[in-house]
Structure 1
C-alpha cells in the first residue's frame, strides 16, 4: 500500500479497481464454494432476471448501469451455458426478450443460501468499519452525478492558471500583439474590413485619442489577449467593447472571462452606464462569454461590419 500512501486520493480510481479485482477473485471462489455455476460478471444480469420474468438487453443495460455491448456479450455467454434463453416479444416482434431457462431458475433457488451468507459477511465488514463504505459510495456517486470529476478538475485548473494572468493598460510595445491577435481570429472566420485596418493599424488615433482604452492580458508575462473600449457618440451607449482576442494557445484558461470583466470594470471607472458590442453568431464561444458577462441582444444600431449579425449591450 506504499504507492497509495504516496499518491493519496489521486489514486482513488486505481485503488477502487484493485479492490474490485480482489472482490471478483474472492467471488469466483465463493461461487465454487457453493457449487453455483455462475461467473461474478454474470451476477447483475442473473440477479435482475431472477426477479423479473423477462427483459430486453436495452432494459437490462439501463437498469444495471452497463453498456449495451457489455450486456449483449454476457447474455450470449449465459445463453451458451443454458442459463438464459432469448425469445421474440409477443407484442413487438422486432424486440427480443431475455429470460431464465429452467436451469437458470434452479440456480436461482440454489443460490439463496449463498446470498444470505455473503450479505451477512459484507454487513459484518461494514459494521466493523469506522466508515460505512456502502453509504460513502452512494454519497460519492451522488456528488459525481451533480458535478463530474472532469468538470471539477477543469474548474480548478482554470482557477489556478488565472493566478498567472495579469491585466495591464495598453502601451506602444503591444501594438503588434494587438494587431496580430485580432487579425488571427478575423481571418480564420471572416475577412479583414476597412474598420479593422483603421483600429488595428492606428489604435492610438482610432481608439485611445478619442477617449477609449485598450487592455492587454499577460500570461506569465507574455501578451496573450487584448480588448478595446471604443468611445461612442450615441445617446444610449457610452462605449463599444471591441477587438477582444485571445491567443489560441492560451484558450481554456479563462482569459477571455478575466479580460471581459476587467474591460467592463474599466468602462465603469470611466463613468460609463452602458456598453455595446457587435459579433457574429458563428462565434459560439464568444457569444456564450458575452451572455455570461451579462450582455443581452439589442437591435437597431447601424454597423460598419459586414460580418456583424448580432448586437448586444450591457447596463453597468
Structure 2
C-alpha cells in the first residue's frame, strides 16, 4: 500500500518531495560511482555559476528562487570542497560574492557528459506520463506566484471559521465575560489599571448608556471573545477592550469581532473610528492595519489615559 499515492492531492507536496529525494539520491549515486565529490542538491548553484562565474548570493537566491539561508548552506558546503570562494562585494559590502575556482571549473567539465545523459533520461521519463509535466509545473508555479498556498489555505480557513463564529450583542448575563476575557489578556501583557477597572466593572454605565455597544463572539457554544465601541463627541467612536481567550486565538475571532464592530459603526453614522493599542500587541496591530487603521500622532478626544505605552490609530469611514 502506498498511502502518499492514495492520498492524492492532499499529499501532493509530500509526493513531489519524495520524488525529488528519490531522483537526487539516484543522481548522487551516479556521481559517487564516478568518484565525483559532488552532491545533487548543489547542481542549481553550480550551473548558475557556470553561466556567470561570479554572482552575489542575493542574485543567486532570486534567480533560483531559493532562500538566502539555502544558498548560503550550499555555498558553504561547496566552499569546503574548494569549488567556490566567497568574498565581500567591493561595490557593496553588504553583499557576498560567490566565484568559481579552477577546481570548480574542472568539476563542471567532468560533470557535463553526465548532465547530458541525465537530461536525456529525464526527458524519456517525462514522456512516460503521456502529458507535458514541465509545462504543467510552469502553470502550477505561475498560479502560486499569484496566490501562494498559504494565502489559499488561510482564505478558506477564514471563511470556515467565520461561518462557525456567531457575533451577539451585549446582554446583562454576558457582563461577566466582558470582564473575565479582558482581565485575561491584560494580566498576560500588562496589568489592570484604573480606567480598565472602571469600564470593565460597569460596562452598561460607561459603554452602553453613552451610545456605545459591546459585541461577543460565540464559538462552539462558548463566549470566547469580546470588543466594545465607546461613543465620543463629533461622531467619532472608539474601538476598545477587544479580547479573545487564549485557547480560541488563531481562529479569526478577533477579526470577525472587529469587522462586525466596524459595520455597526458605519450604520450608526460614525465618521471615523479610533483605538488605542500597544506596540507589544503585534498580532492585533497587524489586524488593525489590515482593516485600514492608520497610526496617528494624537487625538482631540478625551480618551482613557493608561500608564502602559500606547499608540493611537484611526480608521476613516
TM-score (norm 1): 0.76
Q: Which residue of 1 aligns with 2:72?
A: 68
Structure 1: distance between partners of 2:183 and 2:132: 59
Structure 1: distance between partners of 2:15 and 2:36: 29
Q: Give unmatched runs, 5+ long, in structure 1.
A: none
Q: Which residue of 1 aligns with 2:224?
A: 224
Which secondary structure does the structure 1 equivalent of 2:305 belong to?
coil
Q: Give unmatched runs, 5+ long, in structure 2.
A: none
Q: Which residue of 2 aligns with 1:162?
A: 162
Structure 1: distance between partners of 2:315 and 2:32: 70
- 1:97-176 to 2 correspondence within 5 Å? 97-101=99-103, 105=106, 108-109=108-109, 111-176=111-176
Cα distance, 1:202 vs. partner? 1.6
Which secondary structure does the structure 1 equivalent of 2:76 belong to?
helix
Deviation larger for 280-289 or 167-176: 280-289
Which secondary structure does the structure 2 equivalent of 1:215 belong to?
strand
Matched residue count: 303
Is residue 2:235 matched to residue 1:237? yes
Which secondary structure does the structure 2 equivalent of 1:210 belong to?
coil
Q: Deviations over 1:187-224 (max 9, x none)?
A: 44444344322321122233323333221111111111
Cα distance, 1:247 vs. partner? 1.5
Cα distance, 1:133 vs. partner? 2.0
TM-score (norm 2): 0.76
RMSD after superposition: 3.7
Which secondary structure does the structure 2 equivalent of 1:211 belong to?
coil
Matched-pair contact (CA < 8 Å) for 1:36–1:110: no
When Rg is computed on C-alpha atoms for both structures, the one with the higher figure is 1
Structure 2: distance between partners of 1:170 and 1:228: 9
Cα distance, 1:279 vs. partner? 0.6
1:263 is aligned, of 229, 244, 261, to: 261
Structure 2: distance between partners of 1:241 and 1:50: 58
Distance 1:176 1:86, change over 3 A: closer
Which secondary structure does the structure 1 equivalent of 2:80 belong to?
helix
Structure 2: distance between partners of 1:227 and 1:168: 11
Q: Which residue of 2 aligns with 1:285?
A: 283
Is residue 2:261 matched to residue 1:274? no
Structure 2: distance between partners of 1:147 and 1:215: 33
Q: Deviations over 1:123-153 (max 9, x none)?
A: 3444453432223333333444554434443
Q: Which residue of 2 aligns with 1:23?
A: 23
Cα distance, 1:68 vs. partner? 1.6
- 1:39-78 to 2 correspondence within 5 Å? 39-41=38-40, 43-52=43-52, 54-55=53-54, 58=57, 62=61, 65=66, 66-77=70-81
